Amino acid sequence: MKKIILGLAVMALMLTSCNGNCKQEQTTATDTAKIVTDLMMSRRSIRAYKDKAISRETLNEILKCGINAPNGKNLQSYEIRVIDSPALIDSITKAVVTDKPDIAHRDGFKNIFVNAPCVVCIAYDTNYDMAQIDCGLLGENIILAAWTKGIGSCCLGSSARWILDSPSAKPYLDRMAFSKGYELLYCIALGYPDETPDAKPRRNDMIRFME
Ligand SMILES: Cc1cc2nc3c(=O)[nH]c(=O)nc-3n(C[C@H](O)[C@H](O)[C@H](O)COP(=O)(O)O)c2cc1C
């Protein structure tokens, strides 16, 4: 009850003090809109990373934003595994490369997650028809939250496919221990960027307004 009264008192204070500050509040809202738009428009997929770990505290903040994304019926039909151990990333890479040696022939190859120091593996509930949408929205929130912290990312369909298709990587897939009915869908590489790629052109001919 005390909290409600305190809340009402704060609201009343905000309303009464609006006379002088409304303009400032409007400006702040405009600034926020610009910040969010700039964030979305400046994000790029990053495929070169600094050799610097992301703290678990920062990762948790990013993932919290991820799971706050809209999702069908609030079922949260995904499971997430975060791998930030260089040794584990190397072991998974070695396993996949055993079956697909061509992957390692790329210039500067270090690992199967575009050389990132951290990767988020996302599995979807195969029994829910909207689960892949949930996973996509989860991922975009992760990506944008990371970008606010100066952390780059890259969505990776290929890495997930390689892991799924590699018999040598099966023990690592098993270690991810996704629940029954859940399947690895994609990965998100995360790390401090060591490149500033230009924006790739977008088509807009697929957008049409219907009268
Ligand atoms: C579902 C999905 C899968 C992707 N898979 C890969 C991938 O396997 N390897 C890669 O380098 N980039 C991958 N990307 C990143 C895209 O290539 C990238 O988002 C696109 O070229 C647009 O560039 P931008 O993200 O810098 O705007 C993937 C993106 C999405 C959304």
Same domain, 169 and 72: yes
Mean pLDDT of the chain: 91
**Amino acid in position 98:** T
Domain assignment present for residue 128? The answer is yes
Print the domain residue range for 29.
Answer: 2-42
pLDDT tens-digit series, residues 5-26:
444 343 443 433 444 455 666 7
What is the structure's pLDDT at 23?
60
Ligand 1 centroid – CA 153 distance (Å): 10
Domain assignment present for residue 50? The answer is no
Token digits of residue 40: 């979305």
* Residue identifier of the C-alpha nearest atom 28 of ligand 1: 155
Query: Does 25 or 126 have the greater pLDDT score?
Result: 126
CA distance 63 to 193: 19
* Residues whose CB is less than 8 angstroms from the CB of residue 184 and which lie 6 or more positions away in sequence, other chains included: 121, 122, 123, 160, 163, 164, 173, 176, 178
Backbone angles phi, psi at 186, to 5 degrees: -160, 170
What is the percentage of the chain residues whose pLDDT exceeds 90? 86
pLDDT tens-digit series, residues 25-80:
677 888 999 999 999 999 999 999 999 999 999 999 999 999 999 999 999 999 99
Q: How many residues does the chain have?
A: 211
Ligand 1 centroid – CA 88 distance (Å): 23
Same domain, 71 and 103: yes
User: Per-residue pLDDT for 129 more than 70?
Assistant: yes
* Residue identifier of the C-alpha nearest atom 15 of ligand 1: 155
DSSP designation for 193: B
Domain count, the chain: 2
Strands (E), the chain: 78-83, 118-125, 152-156, 182-191
CATH code of residue 165: 3.40.109.10
Which atom of ligand 1 is closest in space to residue 158's alpha carbon? 8
160 Cβ closer than 6 Å to some ligand 1 atom: no
Token digits of residue 27: 């400006």
What is the structure's pLDDT at 209?
96
Same domain, 178 and 113: yes
CA distance 5 to 135: 40
Same domain, 7 and 77: no
Domain assignment present for residue 29? The answer is yes
Domain assignment present for residue 153? The answer is yes
What is the structure's pLDDT at 86?
98
Mutate to test the pocket of ligand 1, among 43, 45, 147 (most ligand atoms within 8 A of CB): 45
Domain assignment present for residue 27? The answer is yes
User: Per-residue pLDDT for 157 more than 70?
Assistant: yes
161 Cβ closer than 6 Å to some ligand 1 atom: no
Instruction: Taking residues 173-189, report their average pLDDT.
Output: 98
Same domain, 140 and 61: yes
What is the structure's pLDDT at 29?
87
